Amino acid sequence: MEKQIIHTENAPKAIGPYSQAIKAGNMLFISGQVPFDPVTMEIVSQDVQEQTKRVLENLKAILEAANASFDNVVKTTVFIKDMDDFAKINEVYAEYFKDNKPARACVEVARLPRDVKVEIEAIAIVE
């Protein structure tokens, strides 16, 4: 099976030895996105809802680079620093996944890169 690296300047550069996404067959595996501005590579805000929006905009940019959209997403994993932020994160998340609600896992973790409050990875089906 052929695999293709997906990269866009409209999402943050990888901060380690990994790709923004890999397309393998008709599957797209998007690495966990954090709330970095793609230009400055800085955290957009300390507000969890603003962070969530930036994460989802980063995911959107990678999906678009693979000629896909949120409608193609079949699974997400949401990593959050504090489960008390669950409802606030869901409020923003629901704005992006209106009709297509993918399978999802959400876990609280001890720490995320650069101490952000949310990270989301995704799997999508693409052409």
pLDDT reported for residue 15 = 86
pLDDT in tens, 45-97: 999 999 999 999 999 999 999 999 999 999 999 999 999 999 999 999 999 99
- 10 Å Cβ neighbour count for 54? 23
Residue 23's domain spans which residues?
3-125
pLDDT in tens, 39-52: 999 999 999 999 99
To the nearest whole number, what is the mean pLDDT of the chain?
A: 97
Answer yes or no: are the C-beta atoms of 103 and 75 closer than 8 Å: yes
Q: List, by residue number, the catalytic residues.
A: 106
All residues at 6 or more sequence positions from 68 whose CB lies less than 8 Å from its CB, including other chains: 28, 124, 126
pTM of the predicted model as reported, rounded to 2 decimal places: 0.97
- Structural element, H or E, at residue 44: none
Domain count, the chain: 1
Which residues are paired to 21 by β-bridges?
6, 30
CATH of the domain at 21: 3.30.1330.40
